[in-house]
Homo-oligomer: A and B are copies of this chain.
Amino acid sequence: MSTKIIDIVARDIRFPTSQSLAGSDAMNPSPDYSAAYVVLKTDHPRSLEGHGLTFTIGRGNELCVAAIDSLKTLIAGQTLESFTSDMGAFWHRITGDSQLRWVGPEKGVIHMATAALVNAVWDLYAKAEGKPLWKLLVDMTPEQLVSCIPFSYISDALTPEEALTILCSNSATKELREREICASGYPAYTTSVGWLGYSDGKLRSLVREGLAQGWTHFKMKVGRNLEEDMRRARVIREEIGWERKLMMDANQVWDVEEAIRCIKELSVFRPHWIEEPTSPDDILGHATIARSVAPVSVATGEHCHSRVMFKQLLQAGAIKFCQIDSCRLGGVNEVLAVLLMAAKFGVPVCPHAGGVGLCEYVQHLSIFDFVAVSASLENRVLEYVDHLHDQFVTPVVMRGDRYMPPQTPGYSIEIKPESLARFEFPNGLAWKEQVSAAV
């Protein structure tokens, strides 16, 4: 029995989050968390559907939806099994249309749309196998995993043989780690306290709430004004002390020399890492900053669009933490490439989350990374933000500061039908109410 993809529906879903200043940072003062959302409909007897999304912050989401529509002829009418029998070939098929490739290549709108579709196919695959995505990956043989990975443009940093060696070296002990993670969960940090839009009073009370909930790692936004950053960092350190970790996120606002100057000032607050100090495209800039501000660690990745960029960040020694994004990279296949490269270079992967659906996505990736690739939790924490989880059919389950492994088959990214209807842009009720209120 094969499962045919008979229809592909892309929708523009936006949440009016800009009104609360939750999510505000130095580069992105007023995001409306949004999803270019795709559903693969099938002829499966149980009407299985594949769901995927790519995350944006509002305007521009329509372009990712349009790009999904442009890509969907590469998938429509095919069977799931024709893809799962060779997931590497599937990824090359969807990224290899030479005309569509031109408007990337492998970056920006077309690549973000690719991610939504690739992830939707993996979601469908996992549902067909009756497993959560992380478990589908964990149960694959090293050979099967390697066959999913696009090695083009990275073979100078990671060969298929090296990837196989890493995976094989962990095979015998996979079960132990799976049991551990199912019992104790994957450690997380919170970004919910430190958005720039908040007053010092609100910041302090949020940190206290976070402490009460058991958080040990706290991230703050910096970069709009150094003096304010210093003041806010002091508030947080007063509350969390010096044992707990404080991370800082500049969201790309600095030039290289400015970054070095600001980070040196901020270093008195002993940041665990400084995130996105400059342009995500500036590999050499990150390397210069990393050398100049050591022992402060540089982290980046949420805007790194491909395995080629991560390869260079690793080769250049530019990052101490690798922050993959589940839908800026071209979906699960390309994420696997980065997880394996990071393992080879000995750099911990701490995925970007928050937004809408990113926590739901990346829990699978980090759990798989621990069980099958890195085999370590050292210096690994997964981002957590308490936004919009109630929009999902199977939201993340936190126990204190730990993500508990999802048990439902799939990639956990299905948004409730009533939320899709309410937040569809521009005709959902939530947006019609906005217009009415503004008139």
Interface residues of A (CB under 8 A from B): 27-32, 56-64, 66-67, 70, 97-112, 152-156, 252, 255-258, 278-285, 288, 303, 305-306, 308-309, 311-312, 315-316
Contact = CB atoms under 8 A, between A and B. Distances in A.
Given A281-B308, A283-B312, A285-B156, A59 B70 contact: yes
Nearest to A258: B155
B256 A281 contact: no
Nearest to A256: B156
A67 B59 contact: no
Contacts of A284: 283, 312, 315-316
A287 to B, nearest CB: 10
A32 to B, nearest CB: 7
A411 B280 CA distance: 32
Contacts of A309: 281
A282 B283 CA distance: 10
Nearest to A104: B108
Contact of A305 (B58, B107, B256): B107
Contacts of A66: 62-63, 66
How many copies of the chain does the oligomer comprise? 2
A103 B108 contact: yes
Contact of A109 (B57, B109, B154, B315): B109
A156 B56 contact: no
Contacts of A255: 152-156
Given A70-B62, A98-B30, A110-B109, A281 B257 contact: no
A67 B63 contact: yes
Contacts of A315: 284
Contacts of A308: 279, 281-282, 285
A155 B260 CA distance: 13
A102 B28 CA distance: 9
A107 B106 CA distance: 10
Given A59-B99, A156-B256, 14 more contacts: A28-B98, A29-B98, A31-B98, A32-B99, A56-B102, A58-B99, A60-B70, A62-B70, A103-B109, A107-B108, A108-B111, A153-B281, A155-B256, A156-B285
Given A98-B28, A108-B108, A153 B282 contact: yes
A411 to B, nearest CB: 22
A218 B107 CA distance: 31
A65 B333 CA distance: 30
* A-B pairs with lowest CB-CB distance, top 3: A108-B108, A60-B103, A58-B99
Q: Which of A63, A155, A288 has the most CB of B within 10 A?
A: A63
30 contacts: A30-B98, A30-B99, A31-B99, A32-B99, A59-B70, A59-B99, A60-B99, A62-B70, A63-B66, A63-B67, A63-B103, A63-B110, A66-B66, A105-B280, A106-B281, A107-B108, A108-B109, A108-B111, A109-B110, A153-B278, A153-B281, A154-B255, A155-B258, A156-B255, A156-B256, A156-B288, A279-B308, A282-B312, A284-B312, A284-B316
